Each structure stands twice: as structure tokens, then as C-alpha cells.
Amino acid sequence: MKYYGIAYNEEASPSNDKYVLHIHENYEVLLFLDGDTNYVVDGRSYSLEPGDVMVVRKHQLHRAYHNSPKEYKRIVLYLYPEFFQKYECPEYEEIFINESLKRDSKIPAELVKKSGLFDALMRFSRYTDSFKAQKSPIYVSCLMEILYLLSGLTDFSEAEATDSHFCQIAEYINEHFTEDMPLAFLSDMFSLSRYHLCRIFKQKTGMTIHQYVNKKRFAKVRDFVKAGMSITEAALAAGYESYSAFYRVFVKEFGQNPREGLKEIDF
């Protein structure tokens, strides 16, 4: 079983075509080092400055958006929920699961540096040959220090004010994606025509409302199955009217049977 991973990544002339909204079943901590980049998490957009940290929780749809081809550099830490059980540190998971913190995702560079988190990440890189020596005895010790420092940082920056209609729509969908949400219902709720509603959402996310909801639901189905539900039970609990409805949508999206696809595909 995989518990964690960390890596330094850089990309010259990044293209937005490669960066699409996606979901992980793990938590993600990104230290932004350089670039001309905004980060979008569950419909909220954050401009990034070197030293900023982005915290992405499980099942949050996210992506980087590059405003120019400037080189993109970052350190990315991946943590699975099982990590906190294996290493008996549930208090360090709180920053990822506390409902009061889930609304925002950016920790500003000034706070990251003042807390010692930036220095800890740089030491981690030096001690482990740019994070390659993952079997080194110091690896988990460094990781624990980073999580200890991260757990004390709860002063998140609010997302930039973007299209207020879109933020309201995205927030509602994020909270109710397991429920039936016909376009007519959303159109009435937000006092927008169906055309304008769909245009706003596609413009901001690169996908339709239907595609967005399905990504959220697919991840939820996988979680329910891991917790012991049958796929049919999980599909119903995630918002599908039947297993056959879930099956049709899943196969259309991935061209694969969900019994195998749920194990292999990163949504």
C-alpha cells in the first residue's frame, strides 16, 4: 500500500492543455516555487507567489492554470489517509479533514517562511537527494516535521473574488453532488438561463456540469466500495438512480468496466 510521495517538478513553457481539473483519493500539498500560475480548487481561484502553499483535500477538483509560458516549478507532497493510521498521528490529518478549513486552500508565502515550513521542505530535499532516497531513515522523520509545522498553519488566504455566480454554483454543486440536480432546477435557483448557466460553468472549469458532477460521484463510489459497499450500493449512495445508469456513464467516460476501472483510474 502506498502511504506518501514527494517530488520536485519543473516544466519549461507549461501548456494549459496538459492541466485539467482532476481528483485524487489522497491529500496534496503543493509548494509553489516559480511560474505565472493560478491554482483552482473546487471552483475557487488563487493567484500564486513563490513560497505559497496549496492544500488540496480528498475529492477536491483542482488544476493549475498558467497565465503565461513562464517556467513552472513546485514541490508536491502526496499523503494518503492510511498514512496517519500507520504512523499514529491523526492530529496531523486535521488540516485535511476539518470542515471549517475546507473552504480555502492557500497558505501565503510569508506565513510559510515564518513558520519554518519552507526551510523544512528545503532540508528534506537536501537530505534525500531531491526526494529520491525514499527508503532513507530520515525520510519519514522529515515528513513528520513538515506535517507538524503544517498542522499549526490554519490562517488560509481567501480565494480571489471571481465570478460570484460561478462561485455560488460551484459551492452548491460541491455540497450536493450526490443529489439530483437537473439543469432546470439549477437555472431557477441561480436565476440564470440554462444556456448562461452552462456557458459560465464550462468557461470556468473546462467541463460541463454533468461531467463535473460525475467526476465527484466516481470518486465517492470508489470510497464507498473501499469501505465495504457493493458497487451497486455505492452507485446509489453516490447519487445514481441505478447501477446500470452508473455503468453506462462510467463506460462512456473511460471505456472500461467500473469493477476494474475504479481500482486503476485516477479521476
Q: How do the domains of the chain map onto residue ranges? A: 4-151, 164-264
Q: What is the CATH number of domain 4-151?
A: 2.60.120.280
Between 103 and 178, residue with greater pLDDT: 178
| C-alpha dihedral sign at 192, 194, 198, 199 | negative
Q: Identify the DSSP state of 22.
A: B
* Bridge partners for 75 per DSSP: 8, 31
Nearest alpha carbon to residue 75 among 9, 126, 143: 9
CB 205 within 8 A of CB 173: no
Residue 173 is placed in which grid cell?
454543486
For residue 204, the Cα-to-chain-centroid distance in whole angstroms is 16
For residue 185, the Cα-to-chain-centroid distance in whole angstroms is 27
Tell me if residue 30 falls in helix, strand or coil.
strand
Q: pTM of the entire structure?
A: 0.85
Residue 196 is placed in which grid cell?
448562461
Check residue 24 and give its pLDDT.
86
Check residue 161 and give its pLDDT.
55
| C-alpha dihedral sign at 241, 247, 248, 250 | positive
Check residue 162 and give its pLDDT.
59
* pLDDT tens profile 5-57: 999 999 999 999 888 888 888 999 999 999 999 998 988 889 999 999 999 99
Q: Which CATH class is domain 164-264?
A: mainly alpha
Greatest C-alpha distance within the chain = 59
Burial class, 43, CB count within 10 angstroms (exposed 0-12 / middle 13-18 / buried 19+): buried
* pLDDT tens profile 209-244: 999 999 999 989 998 998 899 999 999 999 999 999
State yes or no: pLDDT of 101 exceeds 80: no
State yes or no: pLDDT of 82 exceeds 90: yes
